[in-house]
Amino acid sequence: MSHEKSLGRRAYLKAVGAGSAIALAGCLTDGGDGAGGDGNGSDNASGNGTGNETGNETADPVGEGGQIVAGTAPGFPPFEMEEGGDLVGFDVDLLEAVVGETDYELSGWETFEFGSLISALTNGRIDVIAAAMTINEEREEVIAFTDAYFEANQSILVASGSDFQPEELSDLGGHPIGAQKGTTGEGIIQSELIDAGDLEESNYNAYDNYVLAVTDLENGNIDAIVVDVPVAETFQQERDVEVAFEYETGEAYGFGVRQNDDQLREALNEGLAAVEENGTYEDISAEWFNTES
């Protein structure tokens, strides 16, 4: 299939605006702030948000060579965010490059709150999730994942120059802390702190996205945030916050597809292998993570 753009992605996004269905012409190979993000398995097929999903798994598989719609959750820099009306980020560029290596055509993007992505997928509103979504057993009961394309741990973010400098999770006890709803960060707070009796549930603040959480952290309304390392490092560069310490989780991100979309999943896996082999993955990583290409 042709990889040429009939209309530049960024120009087109500016034309139609952000935050809704975004049509793209053809297969694209190019690739702030943002609510995306990983997460752990607290989201499910009945989530709500900007979509109108009800969680019914009624969508048919996408046929071979068909058009597909991608879904993401802006607000998780550098993976997915909106800049000047454009949807940008590592996941955006990577999925477009991966699809460009398949016989499928990426016809558009839709944006949701992170917790609504799985229900949007199972309802057939989108065909693939590209949102730094951690592969875990709870999610795999509802959707399928491609091969892993990124590994990450969690980190604890505090305000720059704060007197509060935690060194381990137990240090967060007794402090107001936050995370984005449905993410791995929220899952760790629940399982490792609240369930363990180290943190009162009333001290946990759940946010629709990490941008709001960081703003509350800067304003002194909370003392720390639990968030994926690459996202924390991005906020550290752009906002008045700093990473206090990392908490190893060994998470792996994958693109999400419906459980019965084996053809699409296999095609995306082949596309992932292709972009890793031809250097595109390394180029995209260099752009978004300032790594050597």
What is d(CA 121, CA 30) in angstroms, rounded to the nearest whole number?
Answer: 24
Which region among 42-56, 91-105, 199-213, 229-243 has the lowest average model confidence (pLDDT)? 42-56
Rounded to whole angstroms, what are the CA distances from 159 to 30, 75, 90, 207, 218? 35, 19, 26, 17, 6
- For the stretch 181-239, pLDDT in tens is 989 899 999 999 999 999 999 999 999 889 999 999 999 999 999 999 999 999 999 99
pTM for the model stands at 0.76
Rounded to whole angstroms, what are the CA distances from 147 to 130, 214, 236? 13, 31, 29
- For the stretch 19-43, pLDDT in tens is 333 333 222 222 333 344 554 333 4
Peptide bond into 78 cis (omega under 30): yes
* Contact predicate 221/162, CB 8 Å: no
- For the stretch 151-182, pLDDT in tens is 999 999 999 999 999 999 999 999 999 999 98
Spatial CA neighbour of 133 closest among 20, 47, 23: 47
What is d(CA 128, CA 276) in angstroms, rounded to the nearest whole number?
Answer: 19
Entry field: residues in the chain: 293
Residues 6+ apart with CB under 8 A from 140: none
**In the sheet that 256-257 helps form, which strands lie side by side, from edge to edge?**
22-23, 105-111, 67-72, 128-129, 256-257, 144-145
